[in-house]
Amino acid sequence: MIRHCCFTVVLALLSLSSCLAVENDAPKRPNILFVFVDDLGWGDLGLNFQNTKKGKKHQTPELDRMAREGVRMLRHYCPAPVCAPSRSSLLSGLHQGHANVRDNQFDKALADNHTLASVLKAANYRNVLVGKYGLQGILKESPKDPMAWPAYPTKRGFDEFFGYVRHRDGHQHYPANDWPIGNSEGHRSPQELWHNNEEISDQLDKCYTTDLFTAFAKQWISKHHETSPDQPFFMYLAHDTPHAALQTATGPYPNGKGSKGGLQWLGKPGQMINTANGEIDSYIHPDYRDQSWSDVEQRFASMVRRIDNAVGDILQLLRDLDIAENTLVVFTSDNGPHSESYIAKRDYRPTSFQSYGPMDGMKRDAWEGGIRVPTLAWWPSAFPAGREDKHPSQFHDWLATFASAAGVPVPALSDGVSLLPQLTGKGTPQDSTVYVEYKNGGRTPDYKDYARERRKRKRGQMQVLFLDGYKGVRANIQDPSQDFEIYEVNSDPGERNNLAGTSASFTALNAKMKERVLQIRRTNRSAPRPYDNLPIPAVSETAIVPGLTWKIHEGEFPWVPNLTSEKADSTRSASKIGTELPIKATSVAHAYLKVPTAGEYTFHLSTQGKAVIKLHDALLIDADYSYASKDERHTTLRLEAGLHPLTIWVTAGESRPKLSLAWAVDGTRSTIPETALFQLGTK
């Protein structure tokens, strides 16, 4: 939780109209339900692709209805084409150039910093995580006390947790039952499932996780509405299907849906939900009992249909409780489609239903099919029905979006922007930083749907950046100066027409992309990249004058907020960074730092308040979440000579802050001089 906020501060923040991106008559502080599924492809959604494709197809009628009643986000991207880094970026609000969990770092501890849950907790939300987590921190042995995990969900802003802790546990969808046809011991044995501090798998006989998590979610929402109707909730409902073991439910989906039908929580050990009966892994939806389909195809389609039923069940519950109008629901998937069944001698391929849609790529690919994910946003009182959004956006934008909806400012640390303007159709959408970096030792599959030159292509180090309306993508990066392939994926989703080198403008764009990726990320020793040692490029700017100007935003804030686009209450000119700033305010300065010579620079910061500093859009120093006043923090990076944009956010409580920022090159430390600071302007 956020240690330096109080409820009175939150109430003051909720009154700030500048923090809201919806009209004044729109509902305030909606309930927020984030439904996250595992390895569902963009093309698996009916309205995206299945309904109109030729040949073999499955159906998602409830999700199609949700799309018709809300917004279909046609170009929403995961941060990396595999689950752990995607989930870390989602929860932290940081893209993969800043998140601490990268590549295939499953079960690594999520950084102890702002999260979706901690930010909403400051707005008095009740937070619950239901389903798969996988960001708890690695321990050699399973703890009897889950608090031994350093990043257990209740240590990252959630009030309650019900689900699988380890990512691998989520590969099995019957936590209490043996599965004799599994292809390995890890996919045959029961798995641990936790409810807060108690491991309860022995109570969950015949509980299929899609049903289990949905039934728990329904009873939790109903109980919360009954006991705390005036308190908004945030539920992160993270299903572990349709990935991994292609296991199906015990029987048909229960009749009806919502408060009086569908899945129901019974709460009795051995009979925890109303589908915990019959034979495990036995049900195939009647629409898919087709002898021309393979066993694994019938299983996969039935799993997706079960998710579809579950979403419709929960949306009906919201209507029954009369809270649908003021509940923001997001449905999405952690990455592109998978190719596993975990059943001995029964292979599954996403080619069966072209789960990647009209695109190349799947899970672990940086091509569109691996990173573009099926995404729906639904808020009946705020989002127009049937809207289609084609703005590129990414998971780290949800923290900014939910903060805006909840009436609290976005932490300055965050990489995201609020998506409310493009979802509501009101206001001007901000450009999202859509960025992917990921390493994998495999190759893009040899599927006949894919471009011939892409089949069996080595993945290696991959990188994606969207810039100026185009996608730049690099695979198997060997040379840090390697060119990007450039595609206009709105009209060319299959990435068939590489524009790189076709004109001087695209040659210039390639150079710009290579510079930009160095200006938005920081290196991470646990995930080295070929371009890590390149210096951050400077920018060209001629209309500058010495000094800097502080924009003062009065008020107390629960963290260092990003108020860059807000109108300031006052301004204050300064010739140097170390100026005394007002108390009970956030001060923001934009400046250009003139670096005299290329080299490795170490920056040192201390302040009596809290601060966040970014160089270009790369994090320079974070002295916010756990920062103790006057402590020194430092960081080292390589810079080209020339001008580098610098943004400084400083927040003060009762004491007047004085920021100290020094740099050191070749071991010599000095305060950043006045002659190195400039701002936009003319003499």
Per-residue pLDDT at 189: 85
Q: Please, what is the average pLDDT of the chain?
A: 93
Same fold, 30-429 and 544-680: no
Per-residue pLDDT at 683: 63
Task: Give the closest residue to 350 by CA, choosing from 635, 81, 551, 649.
Answer: 81
Per-residue pLDDT at 427: 92
- CA 518, chain centre distance (Å): 21
Report the amino acid identity of residue 550: W
| Domain covering 30-429 assigned CATH 3.40.50.150 in the classification | no
Structure tokens at 332: 């999405």
Contact 219, 230 (CB under 8 A): no
Q: Is the pLDDT of residue 7 over 50?
A: no
Return the higher-pLDDT residue of 144 and 399: 399
Q: Mean pLDDT check: name the lowest of 86-95, 372-381, 426-435, 661-670.
A: 661-670
Beta carbons within 10 angstroms of residue 40's beta carbon: 29
Q: Is the pLDDT of residue 643 over 60?
A: yes
Per-residue pLDDT at 6: 34
Contact 438, 465 (CB under 8 A): no
Sign of CA dihedral 380, 383, 388, 393: negative
Q: How far apart are CA 124 and CA 118, in angstroms?
A: 10
Task: Give the closest residue to 217 by CA, choosing from 191, 249, 248, 195.
Answer: 195
Taking residues 214-225, report their average pLDDT. Answer: 98
**What is the SS3 assignment for 241-271?**
EECCCCCCCCCCCCCCCCCCCCCCEEEECCE
Q: Is the pLDDT of residue 562 over 70?
A: yes
Say what percent of the chain tops pLDDT 90.
88
Q: Is the pLDDT of residue 15 over 60?
A: no
DSSP assignments along 113-174, one per residue = S--HHHHHHTTT-EEEEEEE---S---SS--SSGGGSTT-GGGTT-SEEEEESSTGGGG-S-
Per-residue pLDDT at 56: 95
Q: Is the pLDDT of residue 243 over 60?
A: yes
Confidence band of 14 (pLDDT split at 50, 70, 90): very low
Is the whole model's pTM more than 0.85, yes or no?
yes
Q: Is the pLDDT of residue 425 over 90?
A: yes
Taking residues 515-537, report their average pLDDT. Answer: 97
Domain residue ranges in the chain: 30-429, 436-519, 544-680
Q: What topology is assigned to 544-680 in CATH?
A: Jelly Rolls (2.60.120)
Per-residue pLDDT at 16: 40
Q: Is the pLDDT of residue 673 over 90?
A: yes
Could you tell me whether strands 668-671 and 633-639 are parallel, antiparallel, or unpaired per DSSP bridges? unpaired
Residue range 118-135, pLDDT digits in tens: 999 999 999 999 999 999
Per-residue pLDDT at 652: 87
Per-residue pLDDT at 541: 81
Say what percent of the chain tops pLDDT 70.
96
Q: Mean pLDDT check: name the lowest of 64-78, 275-289, 659-673.
A: 659-673
Which of 102-106, 180-184, 539-543 tops mean pLDDT?
102-106
Kindly report whether the peptide bond that precedes residue 528 is cis, defined as omega within 30 degrees of 0.
no
DSSP assignments along 584-633, one per residue = SEEEEEEEEEEESS-EEEEEEEE-SSEEEEEETTEEEEEESTTPPTT--E
Taking residues 163-178, report their average pLDDT. Answer: 96
Task: Give the closest residue to 132 by CA, choosing from 111, 114, 155, 106.
Answer: 106
Confidence band of 23 (pLDDT split at 50, 70, 90): very low
Sign of CA dihedral 595, 596, 598, 602: negative
Sign of CA dihedral 16, 21, 26, 31: negative
Per-residue pLDDT at 383: 98
Taking residues 470-499, report their average pLDDT. Answer: 97
Per-residue pLDDT at 8: 31
Q: Is the pLDDT of residue 114 over 50?
A: yes
Q: How far apart are CA 340 and CA 343, in angstroms?
A: 8
Q: Is the pLDDT of residue 21 over 50?
A: no
